[in-house]
């Protein structure tokens, strides 16, 4: 690799896409050219930094080394295999390919070795899963996680730009004693509310898809199908920054002091844990930062081998864009960007 990679960012006008563009530049990723893609609505629009948005077509997707996707599951379903067939390695933020057996689901601090087996598409985990496993990894290595009971408090930016606008419009209307428009992003008013309904309910399932992602992706990333997991995902009127209350039951004994020590030494984790001084992670403080913040580390009074943690991170950064760019960096460092053979794609991934 001498002149740098030709990189596509698909969904470049969105929250995650625009941050990926910023991070590729800010972290000096070795790109010779970056091309921004979005929907037909945005074609021709000039983005910050002078990139002009392109549309996806069989011609426009040729000759890329790397393609970072954040344009929703259906766009990834259709276009990620096409980019991969044209020779690019795809890093996909959507849930479309995450649970596919041939697609590594990777968090840079947790299971980077999984990248070695990629076959053209690499998946970036769901934001709530991502921040949680960064904190759980050192505890799992030390004492083996047996069971997790998780409640999330998820920010609206996790739903997309439209949801942020809806929260702000509703808040503004209510503060000015005006009627709000019927909600379009969520089933109910999100302003001044908490919705036990993050994601959607698939037919016949009493869990939302967000809860299923948290359960299934955690097991895949930690490579341990035996961990039993209970999850309730709640959407709250926070713009950015997911918070999670996690009860961690381990196979071996683990004291809060030892957990604090392990977390303080873990890559990508910052411990903020001094309740007497009102010090614990807060969503508003996590915004714009790449770390996962952990606090309220304490013994569960109801179980000898369980701890309670409070885990917070910026869902658009570590929960999406930062990890995607970190995966690009790891692929580069491991010489995995041009190493794949055309035709060796995940089974069923051809468009
Ligand atoms: N937000 C998070 O916390 C988070 C975390 C992890 C993963 N993700 C995933 O990342 C993706 C994007 O999230 P976001 O929050 O950035 O959403 P967003 O702000 O709503 O942006 C969506 C992006 O997708 C583009 N797009 C939509 N339809 C398209 C099409 N048919 N062809 C090409 N581009 C299309 C949009 O382009 P236009 O501007 O032209 O419409 C825009 O660039 C989703 O898959 C989401 O699940 C998000």
pLDDT tens across 53-87, in order?
999 999 999 999 999 999 999 999 999 999 999 99
Q: Which pLDDT belongs to residue 351?
A: 32
Share of residues in the chain with pLDDT > 90 (%): 94
In the set 127, 140, 233, 332, the catalytic residue is 127
Measured distance CA(233)–CA(344) in Å, rounded: 37
| Residues with a CB atom less than 6 Å from ligand 1 | 11-17, 38-39, 41-42, 56, 70-72, 75, 93-94, 127, 157-158, 160-161, 315-316, 319-320
Is the pLDDT score of 9 beyond 90?
yes
Bridge partner list, 105: 123
- For residue 41, give the ligand 1 atom closest to its CA: 40
Query: What's the pLDDT tens digit per position in 139-166?
Result: 999 999 999 999 999 999 999 999 999 9
Which of 320, 333, 293 shows the shortest CA–CA distance to 112? 333
pLDDT tens, position by position, 16-60:
999 999 999 999 999 999 999 999 999 999 998 899 999 999 999
Ligand 1 midpoint to CA 11 (Å):
5
Query: Does 342 score more than 80 pLDDT?
Result: no
User: What's the CA dihedral at 99, 108, 56, 49 to 10 degrees?
Assistant: 160
- pLDDT tens for 254-294 read 999 999 999 999 999 999 999 999 999 999 999 999 999 99
- Catalytic site residue from 118, 140, 242, 332: 242
Residue whose Cα lies nearest atom 43 of ligand 1: it is: 11
- Determine how many CB atoms are found less than 10 A away from the CB of residue 302: 8
Report how far residue 4's alpha carbon sits from residue 23's, in angstroms, rounded to the nearest whole number: 16
Report which protein residue has its CA nearest ligand 1's atom 3.
Answer: 158
233 is a catalytic site residue = no
pLDDT(208) > 80:
yes
Question: Ligand 1 mean position to 182 CA, how many Å?
Answer: 23
Say whether pLDDT at 344 is over 70. no
Surface-to-core class of residue 336, CB atoms within 10 Å of its CB (0-12 exposed, 13-18 middle, 19+ buried): middle
pLDDT-derived band at 182 (thresholds 50, 70, 90) equals very high
Task: Name the DSSP letter for residue 180.
Answer: P
- From CA 140, how far away is CA 163, in angstroms rounded? 35
Give the residue, out of 160, 233, 286, with the most ligand 1 atoms within 8 A of its beta carbon, to mutate for a pocket test.
160
Reported confidence tier of residue 338, pLDDT bands at 50, 70, 90: confident
Ligand 1 centroid distance, CA of 38 (Å)? 9
What's the gap between Cα 338 and its chain centre? 25
Contact of 332 with 145, CB cutoff 8 Å: no
In this structure, are residues 248 and 146 in contact, taking their beta carbons and an 8 Å threshold? Answer: no
Q: H or E stretch including 240?
A: none
- Neighbouring C-beta atoms of residue 223, cutoff 10 Å: 11
Choose the residue to mutate in 16, 36, 153, 351 for probing ligand 1, maximizing ligand atoms within 8 Å of C-beta: 16
Does residue 270 contact residue 293 with C-beta atoms inside 8 Å?
A: yes
- Specify burial of residue 86 (Cβ count, 10 A radius: 0-12, 13-18, 19+): middle
Mean pLDDT of the chain: 95
> Is the predicted pLDDT of residue 341 greater than 50, yes or no?
no
pLDDT value at residue 347: 45
DSSP 272: -
pLDDT band for position 236 (50/70/90)?
A: very high
Cα–ligand 1 centroid distance for 25 (angstroms) = 20
Give the nearest ligand 1 atom to 45 CA: 40
Grade residue 235 by pLDDT with cuts at 50, 70 and 90: very high
User: Does 242 participate in catalysis according to the annotation?
Assistant: yes
- Nearest-atom number in ligand 1 for the CA of 53 is 40
pTM of the predicted model as reported, rounded to 2 decimal places: 0.94
Please name the residue whose Cα sits nearest to atom 31 of ligand 1: 39
The residue whose C-alpha atom lies closest to atom 35 belonging to ligand 1 is: 39
Q: How far apart are CA 130 and CA 315, in angstroms?
A: 9
As a whole number of angstroms, the distance between CA 138 and CA 338 comes to 32
What are the angstrom distances between the C-alpha of 224 and each of 50, 59, 113, 191? Answer: 45, 42, 15, 38
């Amino acid at each position: 690799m001498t002149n740098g990679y030709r990189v596509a960012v698909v969904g470049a006008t969105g929250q995650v896409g625009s941050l990926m563009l910023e991070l590729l530049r800010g972290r000096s990723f070795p790109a010779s050219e970056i091309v921004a893609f979005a929907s037909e609505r945005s074609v021709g629009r000039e983005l910050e930094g002078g990139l002009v948005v392109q549309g996806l077509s069989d011609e426009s997707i040729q000759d890329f080394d790397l393609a970072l996707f954040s344009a929703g599951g259906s766009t990834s379903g259709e276009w990620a295999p096409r980019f991969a067939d044209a020779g690019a390695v795809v890093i996909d933020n959507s849930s479309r390919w995450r649970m596919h057996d041939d697609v590594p689901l990777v968090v840079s601090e947790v299971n980077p070795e999984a990248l070695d087996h990629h076959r053209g598409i690499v998946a970036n985990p769901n934001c709530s899963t991502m921040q949680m496993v960064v904190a759980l990894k050192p505890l799992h290595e030390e004492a083996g996680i047996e069971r997790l009971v998780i409640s999330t408090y998820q920010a609206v930016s996790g739903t997309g730009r439209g949801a942020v606008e809806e929260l702000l419009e509703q808040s503004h209307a209510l503060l000015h004693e005006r009627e709000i428009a019927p909600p379009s992003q969520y089933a109910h008013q999100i302003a001044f509310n908490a919705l036990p309904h993050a994601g959607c309910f698939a037919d016949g399932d009493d869990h939302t898809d967000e809860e299923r992602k948290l359960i299934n992706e955690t097991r895949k990333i930690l490579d341990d199908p035996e961990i039993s997991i209970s999850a309730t995902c709640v959407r709250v009127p926070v713009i950015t920054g997911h918070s999670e209350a996690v009860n961690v039951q381990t196979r071996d004994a683990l004291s809060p002091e030892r957990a604090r020590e392990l977390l303080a030494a873990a890559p990508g984790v910052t411990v903020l844990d001094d309740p007497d001084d009102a010090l614990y992670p807060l969503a508003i403080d996590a915004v714009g930062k790449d770390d996962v913040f952990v606090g309220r580390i304490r013994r569960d009074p109801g179980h000898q081998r369980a701890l309670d943690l409070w885990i917070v991170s910026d869902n658009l950064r570590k929960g999406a864009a930062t990890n995607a760019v970190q995966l690009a960096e790891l692929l580069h460092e491991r010489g995995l960007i041009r190493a794949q053979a055309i035709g060796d794609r995940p089974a069923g991934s051809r468009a």
